[in-house]
Amino acid sequence: MTLRTAGEMARHLSCALEGDAGMQLRGVAGPEWASEQDLVYVDSPRQSERVRLSKARCVVAPAQLAADLRAAGKTLLVAEKPKLAFVKAAAWLAAPEPAKGVHPTAVVAKSARIGAQVTVGPFAVIEDDATVGDGSEVGAFSFLGRGAKLGAGCRLHPRVTVYAGTRLGDRVVAHAGAVLGSDGFGYVTDQGRHWKFPQVGSLEIADDAEIGANTTVDRGSLGVTRLGAQAKIDNLVHIAHNVEVGERTIIAAQTGVAGSSVIGRDVLVGGQVGIADHCQLEDGCVAGAQCGIPTGKVIRRGQMVWGTPARPISRFKEQYGWMARLPELARRLAQLEAAAGGSRSSSETS
Cβ–Cβ under 8 Å, residues 288 and 306: yes
Gap between the Cα atoms of 221 and 223, Å rounded? 6
Torsion region of 51: left, alpha or beta (phi above 0 gives left; psi -120 to 50 gives alpha) = alpha
Would you say how long the chain is, in residues?
Answer: 350
Is residue 306 within 8 A of residue 316, CB to CB? The reply is yes
Q: Look at strands 167-168 and 202-205 and give their pairing.
A: parallel
Instruction: Please give the single-letter amino acid code of residue 18.
Output: E
β pairing state of 179-182 and 161-162? parallel
Helix (H) or strand (E) holding 202: strand 202-205
d(CA 183, CA 168): 17
Q: Give the active site residues.
A: 241
The letter for the amino acid at 138 is: V
3-state class (DSSP) for residue 55? coil
Per-position DSSP letters for 224-270, written without gaps between them: EEEE-TT-EE-TT-EE-TT-EE-TT-EE-TT-EE-TT-EE-TT-EE-
